[in-house]
Amino acid sequence: MQMMSLVIPDLAGGFVMALEIFVVTLLGSLPLGVIIALARMSKVKVISAIARVYISFMRGTPLMLQLMALMFGPYYLLGISMGSDWKFGACAIGFILNYAAYFAEIYRSGIQSIPVGHYEAAEVLGYSKVQTFFYIVLPQVIKRILPAMGNEIITLVKDTSLAFVLGIAEMFTEAKALAASFVSMIPYVIAAAIYWIFTLVVEFILNRIEKKLDYYHD
């Protein structure tokens, strides 16, 4: 019990940091993913090619490597010292850029699954292309892609532990330090339980959203 009282406050602090990374990543990557998906489907070949290369690179290289490149790249490539405050910035940018690539492909598959007739009907009703996308296409896309998006979001919960490579004291980092200090696996067990509970909460929220969108039937 004494160990629990000493371990939980530190793990709680690490969990708050992991939660910050999680929220910031979603706030940045979800809208960015839409932009990249539209660029990927652009009829302008240069824009489409750039988006395709971006997605391929981000999905084809480890997130850990991308985080380290953002953290140390400015110094080794440009000789610019960013300071310790850059840790969270590099982490946030790395996660956002990486997850935006995955979300972009999910968005693209959802957009391309919408029947052409829906676009034609919107045009007949006098909708502009922007109005058609936001009022007719996007609501349907969200419902169709929600299961795939849910899988990526749950993966993000666990990927927040990768922030340890930048020296950020998220929950996994705290658990590792506590396990070494107490020579015990208990901190790891508690951290695993917290990750699991957080994942269950995310799954519950996603399921509720999916039920709310049941008004639309294919």
Query: 3-state secondary structure string, 92-122?
Result: HHHHHHHHHHHHHHHHHHHHHCCCHHHHHHH
Q: How many angstroms separate the CA atoms of 35 and 41, rounded?
A: 10
> Alpha helix locations (H) across 41-169?
45-60, 63-78, 86-112, 116-124, 129-131, 138-159
- The matching CATH number, chosen from 3.20.20.70, 1.10.4080.10, 1.10.3720.10, 3.40.718.10, for 2-215 is 1.10.3720.10
CA distances in angstroms from 181 to 7, 22, 168, 170, 177, listed in the order given: 10, 27, 18, 17, 6
Q: How many angstroms separate the CA atoms of 26 and 100, rounded?
A: 9
Structure tokens at 68: 């380290």
The ranges assigned to domains in the chain are: 2-215
CB 169 within 8 A of CB 17: yes
What string of pLDDT tens digits covers the 218 residues of the chain? 556 777 888 888 889 999 999 999 999 999 999 999 999 999 999 999 999 999 999 999 999 999 999 999 888 888 777 777 789 999 999 999 999 999 999 999 998 888 888 888 888 888 888 888 888 887 888 888 988 999 999 999 999 999 988 988 888 888 888 888 888 888 899 999 999 999 999 999 988 888 887 755 54
Contacts of 66 (CB under 8 A, 6+ apart): 58, 94, 97, 98
Residue 3 is predicted with a pLDDT of: 66
Residue 1 is predicted with a pLDDT of: 56
Residue 124 burial (10 A CB sphere; 0-12, 13-18, 19+): exposed
Q: How many angstroms separate the CA atoms of 194 and 202, rounded?
A: 12
Positive or negative torsion for Cα 68, 69, 73, 74: negative
